[in-house]
Amino acid sequence: MKDAILRALDPAEYALTSSSFEDLDHRTVVVTKWDWDYQLAHGFQRRALELVQQTPQLRILLCCSHPEVLTYGRGLQRPRKGESLDLVDFDVKAHAHLPYPFHQIERGGGLTFHHPGQFVFYPVLKLNPSALSLSRMIDEIFDFSIEVLRDWGIEGLHHQHKLLGLWHQDRKVASMGIAIEKLTTFHGMALNLRENSEMIRAISTLNPCGLTAETYTAVENLLQVPPAAHEKFRAEFLQRIKHEWK
């Protein structure tokens, strides 16, 4: 599958090389790029979306990080009937005064932030209600993350919270925002492996995902992260996908 994708596009157009691509199994290609310009990564997601829609058995999984950037989706999570979420929305008209580049995009959710200390995972794949539904995909992305981080020594992570995300007690470790076109997903999870205290201070009044910036924490605040944490997390996370997503 990797070779077919490389024949269908020019990796250099997205600041990639052929070594950025690898086959995970007979239908799944992983694309890895750390500190990837957000606009280039978004453009690649759109191209990957086309390829998956043309070949529904294909899955393209992006593992990356981005320079400091803010993105805004289709709007904040809506409360269920009888529920109050107490979220503070972001005024999109104020984007010209933001301290970082800003992109309004297709995914669900409100304002969020990216920086090089995150592990970002974008699954571009065709949903199948009987095999891999949207809810199962989201749950398993979080579950696989919990399993990897438990192996590293972190207990108490969960995603059974009224607000979508990966949580440790009342602090948010990862955010999730998905877009779907023709039953094909893109966008995904941003997991905070390392803290970016400068960015947190800069966005302290912006309420990412409707929450105070101080709600967010990082893996390195819960334990000493291993060397090459991005690569280590990626390898262990993908092993679980390879085993579970047939």
Instruction: Please name every residue paired with 20 in a beta bridge, in sequence order, or none if there are none.
Output: none
Domain boundaries, the chain: 2-244
Asked if the model's pLDDT at residue 85 lies above 80, the reply is: no
Confirm or reject CATH 3.30.1360.120 for domain 2-244, answering yes or no: no
Whether residue 106 is predicted with pLDDT greater than 70 in this model: the reply is: yes
- As a three-state string, the secondary structure of 110-158 is EEEEECCCEEEEEEECECECCCECHHHHHHHHHHHHHHHHHHHCCCCEE
Q: Token pair of 5, please?
A: 């994708």
Q: Quickly state the pLDDT bin for 137 (edges 50, 70, 90).
A: very high
From the candidates 30, 60, 176, 209, give the one annotated as an active-site residue.
209
**pLDDT tens by residue, 207-245:** 888 998 899 999 999 999 999 999 999 999 999 999 999
- The per-residue pLDDT for 79 is 74
Least confident of 4-13, 25-34, 135-144, 156-165: 156-165
pLDDT of residue 81: 67
Q: Is pLDDT above 70 for 57?
A: yes
Rounded-to-integer distance, Cα 119 and Cα 175, Å? 11
Q: Is 63 a catalytic residue?
A: no
In which element (H, E) is residue 184 found? strand 184-192
Strand pairing of 59-64 and 28-33? parallel
Q: How far apart are CA 94 and CA 124, in angstroms?
A: 31
pLDDT value at position 162? 83
59, pLDDT greater than 80: yes
pLDDT digits (tens, 9 = 90+) for 159-179: 988 889 999 999 999 999 999
In this predicted structure, the answer to whether residue 194 has a pLDDT above a threshold of 70 is: yes
* Whether residue 141 has pLDDT greater than 70: yes
User: Rounded to two decimals, what is the model's pTM?
Assistant: 0.95
